[in-house]
Amino acid sequence: MTKMERAGRYPVEFNLNGEPVDGFASPRMLLSDFLRHEIGATGTHVGCEHGVCGVCTVKVDGKAVRSCLMFAVQAEGAEIETIEGMAEADGSFSALQEAFHQNFALQCGYCTPGVLMSLSEFLGRNPDPTEDEVKVALSGNICRCTGYHEIVQAAMDAAKAIREGAA
């Protein structure tokens, strides 16, 4: 049994985009706040903070999840991926980012990190999706600028690029 008192601050360590990071968190600190305020990884945005809007989506052990519905202390020892780790090692765009750029699939960009992290898991599981499947996959990410049309197109283009890249 591990016990953490409400007023305490406890060390939390995990791998963020393959690199070990650490900080301190009280039990109630959300993973989204820990990433932004303790680690300084502000690419993960915060919106509704009750799991609806999807902007805080990150990958935990390969699965896209809401970082506002998880406490930092629950991430101890996990492999966490955020938007900061999405580009290639040389800094060039990943296929998914490139497709968003080409399709003008963002306007204000606030929802984009969450959309990309969701699509990253989705396209990994379903590399040849239909448009309808993409729309269902995007239903958990709210975008108030684009009207989604360009995002769906970018996801379809990214899937094609990833398939061709893998072939």
Partner 1 sequence: MKPPPFDYLRANSVDEAVAMLAEQGDDARIIAGGQSLVPMLNMRLMRPEVLVDIGKLEETRYIRKSHGSVEIGASTTQGEVMDWDELDATLPLVAKAFPHIGHFQTRNRGTVCGSITHADPSSELPLCLAVLGGEVTLQSSQGARTVSAGDFQQGLLTVDKEADEMTVMVSFPVAQSGEGYAFQEFAHRHGDFAVVAVAAKVTGDSIRLGVGGVADRPEVRQWGLLEGDALDDALNEFAWEMGGSDDIHASARHRRELVRHLGREAVADARQEAGI
Q: Are strands 63-66 and 79-81 parallel, antiparallel or unpaired?
A: unpaired
Structure token pair of residue 98: 């490139």
Contact between 124 and 158 under an 8 Å Cβ cutoff? The reply is no
User: Which one of 58-66, 80-88, 96-104, 145-153 is the stretch in contact with partner 1 (CB under 8 A)?
Assistant: 58-66
Q: Please give the Cα distance from 110 to 107 (Å, whole number).
A: 8
Residue 14: count other Cβ atoms within 10 Å of its Cβ: 20
Burial of 121 (0-12, 13-18, 19+ CB in 10 A): middle
Least distance from partner 1 to the Cβ atom of residue 118, Å: 6
Partners of 21 in the β-ladder? 14
159 binds partner 1 per the rule CB under 8 A: no
140 binds partner 1 per the rule CB under 8 A: yes
Q: Please give the Cα distance from 34 to 119 (Å, whole number).
A: 23
- Nearest of 137, 130, 146 to residue 116 by alpha carbon: 137
Q: Is the Cβ of residue 32 or residue 153 nearer to partner 1 in the bound state?
A: 32
Task: Name which position in 12, 16, 23, 30 contacts partner 1 (CB under 8 A).
Answer: 30
Task: Name which position in 39, 68, 96, 151 contacts partner 1 (CB under 8 A).
Answer: 68
Q: How many residues bind partner 1 (CB under 8 A)?
A: 35
Q: Is the Cβ of residue 49 or residue 98 nearer to partner 1 in the bound state?
A: 49
User: Which one of 4-12, 79-87, 88-96, 146-154 is the stretch in contact with partner 1 (CB under 8 A)?
Assistant: 4-12
Residues forming the site for partner 1 (CB under 8 A)? 1-7, 26-28, 30, 33, 48-51, 54, 57, 63-66, 68-71, 73-74, 118, 121-122, 136-137, 139-140
